[in-house]
């Protein structure tokens, strides 16, 4: 039988401190499992385009980053105030080379967002330049801000 020397605890330290620290770390991880890997508290699947939704008095704008995608491989649809953008990314035809590391996503991805205000679907337009898609969505007359004059009674 081996004799183990008795170790005294440092002041302010208890036997349960490592367990409390582990508990705290587990709670933090479970509350927010992908810290640093998601955008604006939304978990976005791999390959989906990053989007911004902007607004002025007359229009909503959806700006999506689609680097390396051809215009023909983009599909945009609008139904019941939900805008969907589908993208098909094709793999390069480089058959002689062996991939040592691949980080780019290839295949089909789709992203749908619910628009915050009603839009006139018949006047929606889209432009694509330098890998950035901009969808312009004109607001309906009801959704546009109005000035109301105050009259004296």
122 part of a folded domain: yes
Is 24 inside any structural domain? no
Residue 118 lies in a domain: yes
List phi, psi (to 5°) of 134. Answer: -120, 115
Specify if 77 maps to a domain.
yes
Residue 26 pLDDT: 76
Judged against a pLDDT cut of 80, whether residue 39 lies above it is answered with no
Q: CA 145 to CA 123: how far, in whole Å?
A: 19
- 88-119 pLDDT, tens digit per residue, is 888 766 667 777 777 777 788 888 899 998 99
Q: Please, are residues 42 and 34 in contact by the beta-carbon 8 Å criterion? A: no
Q: So what's the pLDDT on residue 149?
A: 80
Where in the sequence is the domain holding 130, given as residue range(s)?
Answer: 51-93+102-138
Q: What is the residue-averaged pLDDT of the chain?
A: 79
pLDDT: is 38 or 54 the higher one?
Answer: 54
Check whether 126 has a pLDDT greater than 90.
yes
Query: Number of C-alpha atoms within 13 angstroms, CB side, residue 34?
Result: 9
In a domain, 67, yes or no: yes
Question: Averaged over 26-50, what is the pLDDT?
Answer: 60
Counting the structural domains of the chain, the total is: 1
d(CA 110, CA 69): 13
pLDDT-derived band of residue 146, with 50, 70 and 90 as boundaries? confident
Which CATH number fits the domain that encloses residue 134? 2.60.40.790
């Amino acid at each position: 039988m081996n004799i183990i020397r008795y170790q005294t605890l440092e002041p302010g330290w208890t036997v349960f401190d490592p367990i409390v620290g582990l508990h705290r770390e587990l709670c933090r991880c479970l509350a927010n499992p992908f810290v640093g890997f998601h955008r604006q508290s939304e978990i976005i699947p791999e390959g989906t385009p990053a989007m911004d939704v902007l607004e002025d008095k007359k229009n909503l704008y959806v700006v999506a980053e689609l680097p390396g995608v051809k215009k023909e491989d983009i599909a945009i649809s609008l139904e019941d105030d939900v805008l969907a953008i589908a993208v098909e990314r094709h793999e390069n035809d480089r058959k002689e080379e062996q991939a040592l590391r691949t980080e780019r996503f290839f295949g089909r991805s789709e992203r749908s967002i619910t628009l915050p205000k009603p839009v006139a679907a018949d006047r929606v337009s889209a432009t694509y330049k330098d890998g950035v898609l901009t969808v312009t969505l004109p607001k309906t007359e009801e959704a546009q801000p109005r000035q109301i004059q105050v009259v004296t009674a």
